[in-house]
Structure 1
């Protein structure tokens, strides 16, 4: 059952990321049909994240109380309704409203899915399990690229969006009727007791926990990488067409190749992290140093694109850079859940929602930079890429220096005080 649950979470992430990335694949026909400028397109990309961080936190906290299965099912049904609603979009305001609502209801998916996967797998396999969920996001963009580019070309961009609505409905029925909330009945009883004991959160102690070096610098590392996530989703297709001079078909296949290779890389990094954790149970070595090293190397490769602009090297460097920098996405939630296991979904939502603030800033900033470059669009794209590389490099170094995840004796008292009625103890 746990492998089927993980498979469903994987496909849920496929749909989730396809929903958000299809807007980039359809960028040129949408901009042409609605007569949008680069700045207006940056607004469209940014609008997805306006409510995303807030709903991510509240949705994940809600899942801690009523269960992940119910929340995930409700989210998926809402996505379907919104994707069918695209058929009515005829102007920029409606497109922005659609993106705001889609982001609001997709915000809770990642933290709830990560915590749900952790619930089904032991600690030595959680890095791999979360990497599978993250891989769903990359595969979502990868599958969407060639398939949806074809649908957009043949049927129009609105029909392609509606196809994702159908996929959401199919996922809902499979997940609701063929999975369980938790692995075994004993675990369900423990979870029920835990829910009954979870009282109000002590805000002062909670903020103190979030301000600890492990939570703070994990969040910042995730934030820097999520700028790349947004850029790859919103701007990569346009960059490949306008800067690298690819045809729409070549762009679609290139996005697919970048997605496939990057999945293999960050899954491999996660498996290496799991292996080292199993051998030593040393969080600093297995989780922090492995991920920080991958981020730093990936940032250097990303920066190289602005110097060596041969199309082949651009694709190779992007494959490696995306795979290496994305390694924080599956491991980051594991670090955050370790900080407060009984509120795993909430802790993960803080991480993902804080990281997704990057989604509000990055698309508009990139659009502004490219617009300022005028006819020299390549210079604008290069400046945006170099800025992202520097940010990932900086926070990768800080992640390595300051994140020291552990459940030490002096942390137990803080954890037990976070919920006023909590009697949970830590080993």
Structure 2
């Protein structure tokens, strides 16, 4: 007896085999490609504003300290205040990111940090107001990077996420390249208070653009670039994620990178002006060098990692080792920066020392996203970032104390830069040994629950 003919294409599938949820077709990335590029451009601008808001305090350190009569320790306390609620906010909003859509969530963050800038415009705003507004600004900006990555990952399948993550980091670098001269020009015309106000206004303009064109992508519901089926979603205990080598090692490496970033934002302009004897224009150009270098290095690392994954390389090599090498290079250069004699040698070491570590951060985020279910991705990224960001609370204040208590200010700066270089070396070595996303993904979600990743052809 011949078998029954298959049902015609228009007939419904039998109940036993009917799919429970639609799966994105193979053409989904093509049909959403233009929108994905718009969203990535908006997220890059989001991170550029985020970085400029962080950097403005360090760029205007001298006029602020002179106007408000602040000691180095007091100024360091203001810089550290930015991170007082930074980590707590990152964790809380990160868990909300598992449940809320990207458009209102990111819009709310930008509204908070934009409004936080405005009280500084008041002529009577002094130490207390500056301290309070930096706390509020930090609360608004704490979740920014993990949620920007989480949103970007929703527009791309897993094997194509390293480059978008790098572009998000590039956006931050552009914030320094464009923001530093902009802030100094505004300071020259409107004063240091006007710089804070203009940045707040730019954030509100971004909010309008995001509300019009931003949103979640077709891969927002899946960690592996495939739609999750209806019914109970794959979930694992968070401790299973947080105790992996990828999460622990990646978090520590980001701790070291963020320490050096906070040091650069707070004290590098002062060091360049007071001890390298640069003019305001030279400081503006020099402060932008790590950002330009970081832009190139982060983009290059992202392209390299994505090509390695496409060719079938392991996540350990593409995301762990490549990122770790960048951190190690940063540590070596930072240790050499204050020991270099000629300015022509010091500047390249500074540019790489404060930038190369940033090439590791997007790869670490992509590796962490690789090991966890999509419904827990925002929280896993945000918690890692929150813990790493505690270094940003410590770095400005600890560095200020080193500067104040050293035999002379120059020696204090040397000690501060050495501490940052040593942390970068430790972070790179730990990342080489521990960041293994393929192994950890299988340990967390075996193949019967999470399909293996097939490299793109």
Q: TM-score, normalised by structure 1?
A: 0.91
TM-superposed deviation, 1:152: 0.8
| Alpha-carbon distance in structure 2 between the residues aligned to 1:87 and 1:13 | 23
| Alpha-carbon distance in structure 2 between the residues aligned to 1:186 and 1:81 | 32
Cα-to-partner distance string for 1:127-159 (whole Å, 9 max, x where unaligned): 111111111112112212111111112211111
Query: Which of 311, 332, 338 does residue 306 from structure 1 map onto?
Result: 338
Structure 2 equivalent of residue 234 of structure 1:
266
Cα-to-partner distance string for 1:370-409 (whole Å, 9 max, x where unaligned): 11125x2221111111111111101211110122212554
Structure 1 equivalent of residue 190 of structure 2:
155
SS at match of 2:298: helix
SS at match of 1:36: coil
Higher Cα Rg: structure 1 or 2? 2
Structure 2 equivalent of residue 349 of structure 1:
382
SS at match of 2:159: helix
Cα-to-partner distance string for 1:330-377 (whole Å, 9 max, x where unaligned): 111111111213111111101211111001110000000011125x22
1:93 maps to 2:128: yes
| Alpha-carbon distance in structure 2 between the residues aligned to 1:259 and 1:101 | 25
| Structure holding more helix per residue | 1
| Alpha-carbon distance in structure 2 between the residues aligned to 1:74 and 1:377 | 41
Query: Which of 284, 291, 294 does residue 316 from structure 2 map onto?
Result: 284
Query: Which of 177, 189, 198 does residue 142 from structure 1 map onto?
Result: 177
- Does the aligned pair in 2 maintain the 1:264–1:323 contact within 8 Å? no
SS at match of 1:120: coil
Q: Residues 15 and 332 of structure 1: is their aligned pair in 2 closer, same or farther, counting only changes over 3 Å?
A: same
1:390 maps to 2:425: no
Query: Which of 47, 60, 65 does residue 31 from structure 1 map onto?
Result: 65
Structure 1 equivalent of residue 394 of structure 2:
361
| Alpha-carbon distance in structure 1 between the residues aligned to 2:139 and 2:184 | 26
Q: Residues 224 and 409 of structure 1: is their aligned pair in 2 closer, same or farther, counting only changes over 3 Å?
A: closer
Structure 2 equivalent of residue 78 of structure 1:
112
| Alpha-carbon distance in structure 2 between the residues aligned to 1:92 and 1:175 | 33
TM-superposed deviation, 1:425: 4.2
SS at match of 1:256: helix
- Does the aligned pair in 2 maintain the 1:34–1:90 contact within 8 Å? no
Moved more, 217-226 or 124-133: 124-133
Q: Residues 92 and 177 of structure 1: is their aligned pair in 2 closer, same or farther, counting only changes over 3 Å?
A: same
TM-superposed deviation, 1:197: 4.7
Moved more, 363-372 or 72-81: 72-81
Q: Which runs of 5+ in 2 are unaligned?
A: 1-34, 453-457
Q: Residues 300 and 347 of structure 1: is their aligned pair in 2 closer, same or farther, counting only changes over 3 Å?
A: same
Q: Residues 291 and 425 of structure 1: is their aligned pair in 2 closer, same or farther, counting only changes over 3 Å?
A: closer
Q: Residues 184 and 280 of structure 1: is their aligned pair in 2 closer, same or farther, counting only changes over 3 Å?
A: closer
Matches within 5 A, 1:28-427: 28-88=62-122, 90-183=125-218, 197=232, 205-342=237-374, 343-373=376-406, 376-406=408-438, 409-412=442-445, 425-427=450-452
Cα RMSD (Å) of the superposition?
A: 2.3
Q: Which runs of 5+ in 1 are unaligned?
A: 417-423
Moved more, 326-335 or 303-312: 303-312
| Alpha-carbon distance in structure 2 between the residues aligned to 1:49 and 1:101 | 9
Q: Residues 215 and 245 of structure 1: is their aligned pair in 2 closer, same or farther, counting only changes over 3 Å?
A: same
- Does the aligned pair in 2 maintain the 1:22–1:141 contact within 8 Å? no
| Alpha-carbon distance in structure 1 between the residues aligned to 2:272 and 2:150 | 35
Aligned pairs, number: 412
Q: Residues 147 and 213 of structure 1: is their aligned pair in 2 closer, same or farther, counting only changes over 3 Å?
A: same
TM-superposed deviation, 1:281: 3.6
SS at match of 1:65: coil
| Alpha-carbon distance in structure 2 between the residues aligned to 1:401 and 1:252 | 38
